[in-house]
């Protein structure tokens, strides 16, 4: 822990990297392009950002991004900057302007990406962090061991409230632990939020009355602040146990207005993450980005999945997931439950478990459940089997001999 804010960056620069790092530090604190009269040595000492570390990695012949200064070669380096806490105080929104504001377009860089972030303890006192996290999610879903087996309502959008509830009934009867709205389904006239919530919660409550198992459903309440708070209360009053919000669509101040108000776990959806991260020398690494939302109160955070249907490599998926388990503060770890999804089936659990080192996650599959040869119940069972085997250290094929749902899933989904 430190009394200064620290951020790590990957930079690529046509100039001396030490000079480039000083330019970043200046631009994001008391300096500017030119020396200004008010920047006295005392002010500089009090307010300036500092370059704490600089490690050159390699040089490349062509710039990753256009528009910067031109040179014969471009140096890539890892840089750590620090800021005095007194510049902004423990304030997440202004922290964002400080560590990721007007610097990606600086002409001294042909690449700039934030990698990670370390915050003074004052931030831990100022923000809620996840109110439920892993333990609370387990308590509310009644899943005490292994992952929550989850799925997403598909088609993403187009079902009305009753059609959604019908699918929820099928999934509940199949033994699912967790269901979420697709992020495209919110409060459109074709499927109003409150209608959907009533119809779905009727099914979930009935199922809980009969079986003792209450399926956790993440209702997408993304909207304006008052709408989100109202929808949260509506879900809570119906006996619901989870709400979902699209982080990039509402932003940090809106999310905080929800999270400070919320009694329920917040399922934090990262849609839009691609534009923040897919250019390797620009934007955000997940470890840095997720810390804003973890501290702000995200209980579940999406990390994609192994062999997913998107462009993200497996190593990146696992780095993201593992970063979530790293405590932000000793007194307040702010550890949310990682959510794996996209192209998942009974095939990936052994590797996911081995690389994560934990079964504290939501493991969501669509086709991996609905398209199982013996139907959705066998699909859910095959995922549980796969995780049970992984946790017990038994090879999937060995376990599959006594577990037919797993055997059929491996036959179908292994390609």
Q: Which of residues 269-308 bind its own copies (CB under 8 A)?
A: 269, 271-276, 278-280, 282-284
Whose tokens are 């062999």? That residue is 307
CB of 9 vs its own copies, minimal distance in Å: 12
Phi, psi of 210 (to 5 degrees): -80, -40
User: How far is CA 275 from its chain centroid?
Assistant: 14
CB of 37 vs its own copies, minimal distance in Å: 7
CB of 39 vs its own copies, minimal distance in Å: 5
Q: Interface with its own copies includes 312 (CB under 8 A)?
A: yes
| Whether residue 155 has a cis bond before it, omega within 30° of 0 | yes
Which stretch in 13-21, 83-91, 142-150, 352-360 sits in contact with its own copies by CB under 8 A? 83-91
Q: Interface with its own copies includes 123 (CB under 8 A)?
A: no
Q: Interface with its own copies includes 415 (CB under 8 A)?
A: no
How far apart CA 145 and CA 394 sit, in angstroms, is 17
Among 225, 238, 325, 377, binds its own copies (CB under 8 A): 225
List the x/- string, 374-403, binding to its own copies by CB under 8 A.
------------------------------
CB of 109 vs its own copies, minimal distance in Å: 8
Among 179, 228, 346, 383, binds its own copies (CB under 8 A): 228
Among 3, 16, 105, 206, binds its own copies (CB under 8 A): 105
Residues from 14 through 73 that contact its own copies (CB under 8 A): 28-34, 36-39, 43-44, 46-48, 65-68
Q: Interface with its own copies includes 348 (CB under 8 A)?
A: no
Cβ proximity to its own copies: between 43 and 71 the closer is: 43
Phi, psi of 219 (to 5 degrees): -80, 125
Nearest-Å Rg of the Cα atoms of the chain is 23
- Of 114, 88, 165, 403, which Cα lies nearest the Cα of 284? 114
CB of 223 vs its own copies, minimal distance in Å: 6
How far apart CA 403 and CA 386 sit, in angstroms, is 9
Alpha-helix residue ranges (DSSP H) falling in 41-91: 41-47
Query: H-helix or E-strand containing 5?
Result: strand 4-13
Residues from 161 through 220 that contact its own copies (CB under 8 A): 163, 167, 183-184, 186-190
How far apart CA 253 and CA 142 sit, in angstroms, is 32
Among 62, 144, 311, 415, binds its own copies (CB under 8 A): 311
List the x/- string, 240-269, binding to its own copies by CB under 8 A.
------x-xxxxxxxxxx--x--------x
Which stretch in 139-147, 149-157, 355-363, 398-406 sits in contact with its own copies by CB under 8 A? 149-157
Q: How many CB atoms lie within 10 A of CB 48?
A: 20
CB of 56 vs its own copies, minimal distance in Å: 22
Which stretch in 130-138, 318-326, 365-373, 402-410 sits in contact with its own copies by CB under 8 A? 365-373
CB of 267 vs its own copies, minimal distance in Å: 14
- Of 106, 114, 109, 124, which Cα lies nearest the Cα of 31? 106
How far apart CA 27 and CA 34 sit, in angstroms, is 10
How far apart CA 254 and CA 276 sit, in angstroms, is 19
Among 19, 73, 94, 145, binds its own copies (CB under 8 A): 94
| DSSP conformation class of 117 | E
CB of 412 vs its own copies, minimal distance in Å: 12
Residue 381's Cβ-side half-sphere holds a number of Cα atoms within 13 Å equal to: 18
Among 3, 71, 139, 154, binds its own copies (CB under 8 A): 154
Q: Interface with its own copies includes 370 (CB under 8 A)?
A: yes
Whose tokens are 């697709």? That residue is 182
- Of 81, 77, 115, 118, which Cα lies nearest the Cα of 286? 115
The arrangement of strands across the sheet holding 282-284 comes to: 50-60, 74-84, 4-13, 111-118, 282-284
């Amino acid at each position: 822990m430190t009394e200064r804010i620290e951020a790590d960056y990957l930079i690529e620069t046509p100039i001396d990297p030490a000079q480039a790092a000083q330019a970043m530090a200046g631009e994001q604190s008391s300096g500017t392009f030119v020396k200004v009269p008010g920047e006295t040595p005392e002010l500089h000492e009090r307010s300036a950002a500092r370059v704490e570390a600089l490690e050159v990695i390699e040089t490349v012949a062509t710039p990753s991004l256009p528009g910067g200064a031109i040179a014969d070669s471009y140096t890539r380096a890892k840089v750590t900057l620090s800021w005095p806490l007194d510049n902004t105080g423990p304030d997440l929104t202004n922290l964002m302007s400080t560590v990721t504001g007007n610097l990606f377009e600086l002409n001294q860089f042909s690449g700039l990406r934030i990698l990670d972030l370390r915050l003074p303890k004052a931030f831990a006192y100022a923000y809620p962090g996840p109110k439920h996290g892993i333990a609370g999610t387990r308590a509310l879903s009644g899943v005490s061991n292994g992952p929550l087996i989850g799925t997403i309502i598909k088609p993403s959008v187009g079902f009305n409230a009753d059609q959604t509830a019908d699918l929820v009934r099928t999934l509940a009867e199949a033994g699912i632990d967790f269901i979420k709205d697709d992020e495209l389904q919110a409060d459109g006239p074709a499927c109003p939020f409150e209608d959907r919530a009533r119809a779905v919660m009727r099914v979930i409550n009935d199922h809980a009355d009969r079986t003792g198992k209450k399926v956790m459903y993440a209702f997408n309440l993304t909207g304006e602040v008052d709408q989100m708070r109202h929808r949260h209360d509506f879900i809570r009053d119906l006996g619901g146990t989870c709400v979902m919000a699209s982080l990039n669509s509402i932003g940090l101040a809106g999310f905080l207005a929800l999270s400070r108000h919320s009694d329920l776990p917040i399922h934090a959806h990262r849609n839009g993450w691609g534009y923040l991260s897919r250019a390797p020398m620009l934007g955000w690494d997940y470890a840095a980005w997720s810390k804003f939302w973890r501290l702000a109160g995200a209980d579940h955070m999406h990390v994609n999945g192994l062999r997913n249907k998107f462009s993200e490599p497996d190593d990146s998926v696992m780095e993201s997931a593992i970063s979530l388990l790293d405590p932000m503060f000793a007194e307040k770890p702010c550890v949310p439950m990682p959510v794996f999804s996209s192209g998942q089936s009974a095939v990936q659990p052994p590797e996911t478990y081995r690389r994560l080192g934990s079964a504290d996650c939501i493991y969501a599959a669509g086709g991996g459940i609905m398209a199982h040869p013996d139907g959705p119940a066998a699909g859910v069972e095959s995922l549980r089997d796969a995780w049970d085997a992984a946790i017990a250290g038994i090879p999937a094929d060995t376990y599959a001999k006594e577990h037919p749902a797993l055997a059929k899933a491996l036959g179908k989904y292994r390609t």
